[in-house]
Chain A
């Protein structure tokens, strides 16, 4: 099992395969990952709707299945069966390509996460770098979709998304870099190993780590284009933003990608700040497969935090968005890196 999962469906592309796996095995693993996260994405949609309802003193979907558990399944089936419409003047190739850009980049990032000690599809030595790089390809899909639909609302939404992602990508990268100063490695398994020996990184790095975490959560929320940074698809201004002209399954891809991206942002934070699959105080260290539970539990807490943001804060204007990034987050981040470097240099990190 270990050896199978350690190698990945990326093996098809990679030339340095650890051991030879048959194409069938690789495909099966890939299929398993894709199925699991497609279904997980659907349940995240349900969670979002229930949490939103609770924040607004409503009940939320609770009719389809027990407590509405099958609601989003039914929604997805409906979307699959819907007609795919498009505009006549759309750039057909790019218009049809855009949803796949978004969903594929979202799914690609999932390969590198250490869900437990054994379950990590692709453990490359530039893990964090890979995550940052891949997660920002998604915006190309959004830009393509907005531009190719030949619709002014879609175009405005897409351009806003470009502005937003390019700006906030910096903060995400720099706040993660702050933590990399402690670990000294970009490899995710290495980062977890550092935390296994010396406690979660948010405790090891104390004050600068907490600042980095706050900056990361703000910038990460902005990167997923969720409220309060959802001016990409501001309903009151732009209809639905970049996916105005999409219907059926293509729309579902954008929708699913948003939720998988949210999970990815939470997973990166889990891995880098909260010790990935490590249990608190090592209480279940003897049972390795519980790592999956701990990883998903921590990720869910962070996902809930992002939902909490969404249902609390009002949407920012474009100028406020850029002010927040370039005048506040970026300078704070740069200073924070220097502080963290000093702390690491003077050995002031807290080790357990």
Chain B
């Protein structure tokens, strides 16, 4: 007699499925997830986990957290990151220390794998949400992430 129960179950599950999609249909006005991009450029906010580009946050005193350890440079599978570094006297501790001169980031080579960000021991680099990266000149995709005149924030290395 499973024949008739199969029919019953079949019809029931079909109706269940249709009620689910029907609810989505009715709520589509409010819940549409489509972003009409160029129109809402001013208000569009990318989600937190979006991988747009690698950025280096600086605080108000123009200080970053990069110690120049080069772990990100080693972790990068395609040579996107180049760190130009030097040694000099640290202002806070007075010791002779390694510090970055330029953190060079080639966006054109980056695959957004995120290994550099995972590798960074001091959280100096993060994901940025910017995705409008089109330029007319390819060299503009090579960026220096640390701002001019910036230095290492105190207390990062302790």
Contacts and interface: CB of A to CB of B under 8 A. Distances in A.
A312 interface: yes
B14 A313 contact: yes
B50 interface: no
A53 B31 CA distance: 12
A332 B28 CA distance: 37
A352 interface: no
Interface stretch (A55-63, A155-163, A261-269): A55-63
Contacts of B130: none
A332 B4 CA distance: 10
B18 interface: yes
Contact of A55 (B7, B11, B21, B29): B21
B33 A57 contact: yes
Contact of B32 (A59, A311, A313, A332): A59
A309 to B, nearest CB: 8
A214 to B, nearest CB: 8
A57 B32 contact: yes
B32 A312 contact: no
A54 B24 CA distance: 8
B79 interface: no
B7 A328 contact: yes
Given A54-B28, A313-B14, A328-B7, A59 B21 contact: no
A312 B17 contact: yes
A260 B17 CA distance: 26
Interface in B6-40: 6-7, 10-11, 14, 17-18, 20-22, 24-25, 27-29, 31-34, 36
Contacts of A312: 17-18, 20-21
Contacts of B24: 54-57
Given A308-B21, A312-B21, A55 B14 contact: no
Contacts, number: 43
A311 B21 contact: yes
Interface string A23-49: 000000000000000000000000000
Contacts of B31: 57
Contacts of A54: 24-25, 28-29
Nearest to A328: B7
Describe B's contact surface by its main secondary structure: helix
Given A312-B18, A313-B14, A313-B17, A59 B25 contact: no
A55 B25 contact: yes
A214 B7 CA distance: 12
Interface residues of A, number: 16
Interface centre among A57, A313, A328, A332, by most chain B C-beta atoms within 10 angstroms, is A57
Interface string A48-84: 0001011111110000000000000000000000000
B21 A57 contact: no
A206 to B, nearest CB: 17
B34 A58 contact: yes
Interface string A318-347: 000000000010001000000000000000
B137 to A, nearest CB: 31
B33 A308 contact: no
Given A308-B22, A328-B7, A58 B32 contact: yes
B34 A59 contact: yes
A212 to B, nearest CB: 14
A213 to B, nearest CB: 13
B1 to A, nearest CB: 14
Interface in A223-263: none
Nearest to B17: A312
A51 B24 CA distance: 11
A308 B28 contact: no
A88 B32 CA distance: 46
Contacts of A55: 21, 24-25, 28
Interface of A: 51, 53-59, 214, 308-309, 311-313, 328, 332
Interface of B: 6-7, 10-11, 14, 17-18, 20-22, 24-25, 27-29, 31-34, 36
Query: Can you list the 3 inter-chain pairs with the closest CB atoms, starting with the nearest?
Result: A54-B28, A312-B21, A59-B34
20 contacts: A51-B25, A53-B28, A53-B34, A54-B28, A54-B29, A55-B21, A56-B24, A57-B24, A57-B32, A57-B33, A57-B34, A58-B33, A59-B34, A214-B11, A308-B21, A308-B22, A311-B21, A312-B18, A312-B21, A332-B7
Given A55-B21, A311-B21, 5 more contacts: A57-B31, A58-B28, A58-B32, A59-B36, A312-B21
